[in-house]
Structure 1
């Protein structure tokens, strides 16, 4: 049986708040198959984004285990996690997280350069052209619309052809037209390159496009008893 792309076993996340420790995730156990598309849904504050961050090693589990592509993320230090993400994961955030002092093509090329790609800028330009920004390579984020910035962020996440794509409300800051275009691009990447796609969304129609929908409520998988 093939190793799943992502596997969590009894994963918990507790963060320190002003009034003491706050349990964010409570014993999450699930598997995501390679090439699967999964929608994470649930009410605000249910732990969706936190779960996505655990999957990407961007938050460290307080307990339990998190594996991705057969690697134990809970056993890695921060440098190890960063190296693992660089070649294996693309992350698309709602708030873009572009580097404001870099042009669009520089934003996309930077992770490729860190991977040692000699043709980083050529690949970045091709990826930006693919998302409809071939004429905006030398524009800075402040010169781009919200939809264009999100396209740059998507191009950056996808340029290295990572086996796992994680998207946290990638259309949340966009109007309907731009949001629809971004989602089509994400599903195109999944289809064309076989990437595993996990996305957080409040849009039921979008979630239903996925192979499977996972619902969270109060830090637990819906239907799993406390």
Structure 2
């Protein structure tokens, strides 16, 4: 049995709000295996996106253990976390987060350039082709549809060949048909790169495509089970 790629133990997250301290996550403990596709579900405000952000070191836990690929993220500084994400993770957000002054090709190549890769643009071209946007590399985000922008974001997330892919409602801003196409691409990219995929979603049909589904309510895990498609 291989070691888990991610291990959370007694994880809590509290944030200061207008009415005082708000407990977002309350004693989360779970493990994620290599190559697993995990869906995080729950109503708005259940804590699923916050949990994903903690998993990716984008939000710092208040207490508890966050171990990713054997590395404890808790004591790491912002620069260390940024380097760790760059080297090991790909992140896809609902709102794309492309840099508007960069072309699609430049957006995809950026993580590799920051890592000092000499073949950054060649690899970026290959990933744009993999998401069907080989002819759009010279276009800026404002010249692209929402679906195209999300496909660029997918290419950017996987161009570094990450071991872990994190996706936060990646189809939330897209129509149904475009969203389905983007999700097919995300699963295809996951398969091609052999990455572990952790996905936040409201959509039952999307959760059913995952190997395992963890449901949250009020910052706590209320169920952890194999998805129907995996059973």
Any unmatched runs of 5+ in structure 1?
A: none
Distance 1:178 1:118 in 2: 34
The answer as to 2:182 corresponding to 1:220 is no
Q: Secondary structure of the equivalent of 1:74?
A: coil
Matched with 1:82 is: 82
Q: Aligned-pair RMSD on alpha carbons?
A: 1.0
SS in 1 for 2:74: helix
**C-alpha separation in 1, matches of 2:101 and 2:171:** 24
1:177 Cα offset (Å): 1.4
How many angstroms apart in 1 are the aligned matches of 2:159 and 2:223?
37
1:16-95 matched pairs, under 5 angstroms? 16-95=16-95
Per-residue deviation at 1:118? 0.3
Offset of residue 222 of structure 1: 0.5
Q: Which residue matches 2:127? A: 127
8 Å CA contact retained: 2:161, 2:193: yes
The answer as to whether partners of 2:214 and 2:223 remain within 8 angstroms in 1 is: no
Which residue in 2 is equivalent to 1:202? 202
TM-score (norm 2): 0.95
**Cα deviation per residue 1:81-117 (whole Å; 9 max; x = unaligned)?**
0010001000000000000000000000010111111
1:180 deviation in Å?
A: 0.7
User: 3-state SS of the aligned residue for 1:222?
Assistant: strand
Residue 152 of structure 1 corresponds to 152
Write the distance in 1 (CA, Å) between the matches of 2:184 and 2:141.
22
Paired residues for 1:142-181 under 5 Å: 142-181=142-181
Work out whether 1:191 is the aligned partner of 2:191. Answer: yes
Aligned-pair distance for 1:15? 0.5
Looking at structure 1, the residues matched to 10 and 110 of structure 2 have their Cα atoms a distance apart, in angstroms, of: 35
Residue 3 (structure 1) shift: 1.8
Aligned residues: 224
Alpha carbons of 1:223 and 1:190: their partners in 2 closer, same or farther (altered >3 Å)? closer
CA–CA distance in structure 2, aligned partners of residues 33 and 84 of structure 1: 19
Deviations 1:171-226 (A, max 9, x none): 000011110111111111222221000000011111011110000000000159xx
Mapped to 2, the partners of 1:192 and 1:153 lie a distance apart of: 17
Name the structure 1 match of 2:137: 137
Q: Kindly state the Cα deviation for residue 12 of structure 1 after the two structures are TM-superposed.
A: 0.4
